[in-house]
């Protein structure tokens, strides 16, 4: 993902990322499937590059504070109903990829690569590189729904 800004690359590198990084996702896939999640190819690709990274952010961002985020999909275990209900509402399969703000919110990704904030409300950070940039640089997500279905 060479399209990431220098600032985002630096934050990710400090967390252990490098260009061409690949991690095994099989344990995540197996445990999530047992919990009722559907892990699609886009989530697999994303997690193979970014899975296991934890960015201990802080400070001011572009349109919101920079908050810590972690790309560990197992942090969403037990929340398959929340992800599936939001997914049904928007007509997408949202797979878990981690959490934001030290567990305050979950992060998910759909088949098209859109990264979501998943909570009692739903918002999107952007597609692919743009979503990662928004997380790293402190860009507020676009709110899609203000309350849980």
Share of the chain above pLDDT 70, in %: 98
- Please check whether residue 55 is in contact with residue 15, taking contact to mean a CB–CB distance below 8 angstroms: yes
Residue 114: strand, helix, or coil: strand
Does residue 1 form part of some domain?
no
- pLDDT at residue 2, as a whole number: 45
User: Rounded to whole angstroms, what are the CA distances from 18 to 4, 85, 101?
Assistant: 12, 34, 23
- H or E, element range at 95: strand 95-100
Does residue 130 form part of some domain?
yes
Backbone phi and psi for residue 126, each to the nearest 5 degrees, phi listed first: 135, 175
- Please check whether residue 42 is in contact with residue 117, taking contact to mean a CB–CB distance below 8 angstroms: no
Domain that includes residue 39, residue range:
6-145
- Please check whether residue 97 is in contact with residue 115, taking contact to mean a CB–CB distance below 8 angstroms: yes
Q: Is the pLDDT of residue 149 over 70?
A: no
Please name the residue ranges forming H helices in 3-128.
6-14, 26-34, 41-50, 80-90
Q: What is the Cα–Cα distance from 90 to 132, expressed in whole angstroms? A: 21
pLDDT, average across residues 66-85: 97
Tens digits of per-residue pLDDT, 39-67? 999 999 999 999 999 999 778 999 999 99
Picking from 37, 20, 19, the residue whose alpha carbon sits closest to that of residue 28 is: 37
Does residue 74 form part of some domain?
yes
Does residue 58 form part of some domain?
yes
Number of domains forming the structure of the chain: 1
């Amino acid at each position: 993902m060479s399209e990431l800004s220098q600032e985002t690359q630096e934050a990710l590198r400090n967390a252990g990322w490098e260009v061409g990084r690949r991690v095994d996702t099989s344990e995540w896939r197996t445990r999530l499937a047992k919990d009722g999640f559907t892990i699609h190819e886009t989530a697999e690709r994303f997690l193979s590059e970014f899975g296991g990274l934890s960015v201990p952010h802080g400070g001011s961002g572009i349109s919101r504070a920079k908050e810590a985020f972690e790309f560990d999909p197992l942090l969403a275990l037990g929340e398959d109903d929340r992800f599936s209900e939001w997914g049904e509402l928007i007509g997408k399969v949202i797979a878990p990829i981690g959490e934001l703000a030290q567990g305050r919110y979950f992060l998910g990704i759909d088949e098209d690569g859109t990264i979501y904030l998943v909570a009692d409300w739903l918002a999107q950070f952007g597609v692919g590189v743009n979503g990662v940039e928004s997380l790293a640089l402190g860009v507020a997500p676009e709110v899609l729904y203000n309350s849980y279905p």
